[in-house]
């Protein structure tokens, strides 16, 4: 990857358009190799939710794409982990109660912030950059762009900035009035996918949102960059989590020794981190899949995609061989994920700051009502 560049909307949309075409022609190949699963992937693209569109801010804030792209690029100059972190914020936001920026809310007396739910606690990050982007947008186009849309664009730009392929984003989401702490903390299929469970439990978590096992394998490719705390890595070697017992637990012995050594002296296993991708740790590419074939998956659930009973080894190998196929399927999976449960129209609100619900019955809501009757 070269220096970070501002991603032009047109270029990204054009690249993503190519992806959609590639997806369906690849879909036929996937069909041949994977039988029925490939058909579903090709025939059903995810429908755009009513109220969302690519040109939602074309009149009210045409600068939105440049401002978000610049904010992500600037943040990445001093924090190479940022693109992976912002993609994870998007996933953990959308997976729980839809893409409504509920994850961005901070604690108050009435808000129990999702940031502290176990899967996010000590690991969710990137909000300083999202807040700075929001602050810029509030000066350029006040009370217009939702935090939920900022997170959505930032995730797309993060993938592209790290070497992956963009996709067209539809906009018009609004921000939640509350957080979903309990669901974020849930161990059930309604919660976030755990790194400790068996393959069928991971598949069930995705099925809960109507994502196929194929789409689960595809979206897991997000672990081609980013880090994992020792707290989520070492339990697989010690079976200290009951769900790990009798699960397939394959790993390259050298990598296992290296991870154990690196984590051994962690006085706090939340503070010591490991690269998820042993080959190209900061690049969005298909090395995640070639690593899995070599038993270099860092999380138990990563390696399950290739090693567990019932794993789709053919798809993992195929993505490892055909980066373009992975890229276009990933773009398609992200579009579907970013379409999860948006608030639209007059639901929710446009927050003034991403970490806070607007003061109730403030001038903001009356301004919004005025706009609504114009
Ligand atoms: C925020 O609230 C959560 C849930 O009540 C709690 O576990 C956490 O300790 C709080 N964090 C801070 C920094 O106050
Ligand atoms: C979040 O992590 C902190 C520090 O490790 C811990 O004290 C706290 O109990 C955790 N909160 C939750 C809700 O697990
Ligand atoms: C969240 O869970 C706690 C503990 O189980 C419960 O007391 C609380 O009512 C739940 N909150 C919501 C909003 O469901
Ligand atoms: C996977 O884990 C779940 C929950 O622990 C368990 O009920 C199920 O039997 C396991 N499936 C397999 C194939 O091991
Ligand atoms: C589930 O996904 C399939 C294929 O993507 C789609 O045809 C169907 O409408 C979806 N169902 C729901 C309830 O979203
Ligand atoms: C693990 O497998 C052993 C031998 O098959 C069995 O006795 C034991 O009950 C299993 N443990 C769990 C937690 O499934
Ligand atoms: C861990 O700490 C012990 C005691 O401080 C030290 O002897 C050992 O070399 C350390 N191991 C690693 C891998 O840093």
Burial class for 128, CB neighbours closer than 10 Å (0-12, 13-18, 19+): exposed
Supply the mean pLDDT for the chain. Answer: 86
Which residue has the least CA distance to atom 5 on ligand 1? 112
Percent of the chain at pLDDT exceeding 70: 82
For residues 193-214, give the mean pLDDT: 96
pLDDT, position 245: 64
Which residue has the least CA distance to atom 5 on ligand 7? 265
pLDDT, position 267: 83
Which residue has the least CA distance to atom 5 on ligand 4? 243
Q: CA 22 from chain center: how many Å?
A: 22
Which atom of ligand 6 lies closest to the CA of 242?
13
For residues 353-367, give the mean pLDDT: 71
Q: Is the confidence at residue 207, as pLDDT, over 60?
A: yes
Domains of the chain: 62-192+342-373 (1.10.520.10), 199-335 (1.10.420.10)
Which contacts qualify for 318-324: CB closer than 8 Å, 24 or more apart?
318/30, 318/33, 319/217, 319/218, 319/221, 319/286, 319/289, 320/286, 320/289, 320/290, 320/292, 320/293, 322/26, 322/286, 323/285, 323/286, 324/22
pLDDT band at 247, cuts 50/70/90?
A: low
Alpha carbons 353 and 357: distance in angstroms, whole number: 8
Residue range 5-62, pLDDT digits in tens: 333 433 343 344 333 333 333 333 333 333 333 333 333 456 898 899 999 999 999 9
Q: Is the confidence at residue 371, as pLDDT, over 70?
A: no
Which atom of ligand 5 lies closest to the CA of 336?
5
For residues 162-168, give the mean pLDDT: 96
pLDDT, position 360: 78
pLDDT, position 239: 72
Lowest mean pLDDT among 186-200, 259-273, 360-374: 360-374
Mutate to test the pocket of ligand 5, among 43, 206, 210 (most ligand atoms within 8 A of CB): 210
For residues 105-121, give the mean pLDDT: 95
pLDDT band at 244, cuts 50/70/90?
A: low
Q: Is the confidence at residue 115, as pLDDT, over 60?
A: yes
* φ, ψ for residue 275, nearest 5 deg: -65, 135
Residue range 121-156, pLDDT digits in tens: 999 999 999 999 999 999 999 999 999 999 999 999
Stronger pLDDT, 88 or 238, i.e. the higher one = 88
247 C-alpha vs ligand 4 centroid, how far in Å?
9
Task: Specify whether the CB–CB gap between 5 and 72 falls below 8 A.
Answer: no
Q: Which residues pair with residue 353 across a beta bridge?
A: 356
173 C-alpha vs ligand 5 centroid, how far in Å?
20
Residues designated catalytic: 92
User: In the structure, which protein residues have their CB atom closer than 6 angstroms to any atom of ligand 6?
Assistant: 245-246
Cβ of residue 113 lying under 6 Å from some atom of ligand 1: yes
Which atom of ligand 2 lies closest to the CA of 118?
14
Task: Specify whether the CB–CB gap between 281 and 214 falls below 8 A.
Answer: no
Burial class for 118, CB neighbours closer than 10 Å (0-12, 13-18, 19+): middle
Give buried/exposed letters for 26-57 (b at 16+ CB in 10 A, else e). bbeebbeebeebbeebbeeebeebebbeeebb
Which atom of ligand 6 lies closest to the CA of 246?
1
pLDDT, position 361: 53
Which residue has the least CA distance to atom 8 on ligand 1? 116
For residues 272-292, give the mean pLDDT: 97
Q: CA 329 from chain center: how many Å?
A: 14
């Amino acid at each position: 990857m070269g220096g970070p560049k501002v991603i032009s909307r047109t270029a990204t949309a054009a690249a993503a358009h190519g992806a959609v075409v590639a997806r369906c022609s690849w879909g036929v190949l996937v069909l041949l190799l994977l039988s029925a699963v490939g058909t579903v992937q090709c025939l059903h693209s995810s429908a755009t939710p009513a109220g969302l569109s690519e040109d939602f801010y074309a009149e009210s804030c045409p600068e939105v794409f440049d401002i978000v792209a610049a904010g992500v690029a600037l943040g990445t100059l001093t924090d190479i982990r940022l693109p992976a972190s912002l993609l994870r914020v998007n996933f953990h936001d959308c997976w729980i109660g839809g893409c409504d920026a509920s994850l961005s809310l901070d604690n108050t007396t009435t808000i129990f912030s999702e940031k502290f739910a176990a899967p996010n606690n000590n690991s969710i990050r990137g909000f300083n950059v999202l807040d700075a982007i929001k602050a810029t947008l509030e000066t350029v186009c006040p009370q217009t762009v939702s935090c939920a849309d900022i997170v959505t664009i930032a995730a797309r730009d993060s993938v592209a900035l790290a070497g992956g392929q963009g996709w067209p984003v539809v906009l018009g989401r609004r921000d939640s009035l509350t957080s979903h702490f309990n669901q974020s903390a849930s161990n059930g299929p309604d919660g976030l996918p755990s790194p400790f469970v068996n393959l069928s439990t991971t598949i069930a978590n995705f099925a809960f949102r109507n994502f196929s096992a194929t789409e689960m394998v595809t979206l897991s490719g997000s672990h081609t960059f980013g880090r994992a705390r020792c707290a989520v890595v070492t339990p697989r070697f010690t079976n200290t989590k009951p769900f790990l017992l009798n699960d397939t637990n394959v790993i390259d012995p050298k990598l296992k020794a290296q991870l154990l050594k690196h984590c051994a002296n962690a006085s706090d296993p939340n503070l010591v981190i490991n690269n998820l991708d042993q080959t190209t740790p900061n690049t969005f590419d298909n090395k995640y899949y070639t690593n899995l074939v070599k038993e270099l998956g860092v999380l138990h659930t990563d390696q399950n995609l290739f090693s567990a009973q019932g794993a789709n080894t053919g798809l993992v190998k195929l993505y490892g061989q055909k980066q373009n196929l992975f890229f276009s399927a990933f773009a398609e999976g992200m579009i579907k994920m970013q379409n999860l449960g948006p608030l639209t129209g007059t639901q929710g609100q446009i927050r003034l700051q991403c970490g806070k619900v607007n003061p109730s019955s403030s001038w903001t809501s009356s301004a919004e009502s005025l706009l609504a009757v114009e």
